[in-house]
Structure 1
Amino acid sequence: MTLVLRVLGVLALLMGLLWMGQGAGLIMWPASSFMLEQKIWILWGGVLALAGTGLLVLAQRRR
């Protein structure tokens, strides 16, 4: 179970950081993405990254 939490946590954290970077206009990939330079994606990415961090903390505590 902790392995599943860790994998999901890392994926959520990385995806959240990607969304934040795309929303801020720092990551312009893929060029056809609707998320580029849309500030709302900074918020959604932050929420997802925070959730991923929470999953990682939960996985660490379950050890």
Structure 2
Amino acid sequence: MSELFNGVMRAVSTLLGLLMVLMGGVWILQGLNIAFLESFMANDKRWALWGLLLAITGVCQIVWSNSRERYYRGR
């Protein structure tokens, strides 16, 4: 049961990280005035910075979720 729970939580955590990367990408595109131009975030460089930080956090979440499994499996 514990291995099943760890697998499900790893998948959920990875999906959360992927959503963070995708949302950060949208914020970057809006902040740099490249796509989704009908938004209040369009052409605002602060949103590009927030998007970059969110995308980096999402990548860290994905890496942490998947490296954590290898650590516990080896013990």
For normalisation by structure 2, the TM-score amounts to 0.76
Partner of 1:25: 33
- Larger relative contact order (Cα-Cα within 8 Å, sequence gap ≥ 6): 1
Counterparts of 1:30 and 1:17 in 2: how far apart (Å)? 14
Q: CA deviation at 1:30?
A: 5.6
Aligned-residue identity in percent: 39
Q: Which has the larger radius of gyration?
A: 2
Using a 3 Å threshold, how does the CA distance of structure 1 residues 20 and 9 change in structure 2: closer, same or farther?
A: same
Which has the larger share of helix? 2
Listed as ranges, the gaps of 5+ residues in structure 2 are 1-8, 70-75
Q: CA deviation at 1:62?
A: 2.0
Q: CA deviation at 1:59?
A: 1.2
Q: What secondary structure sits across from 2:53 in the alignment?
A: helix
Listed as ranges, the gaps of 5+ residues in structure 1 are none
Q: Matched residue pairs, number?
A: 61
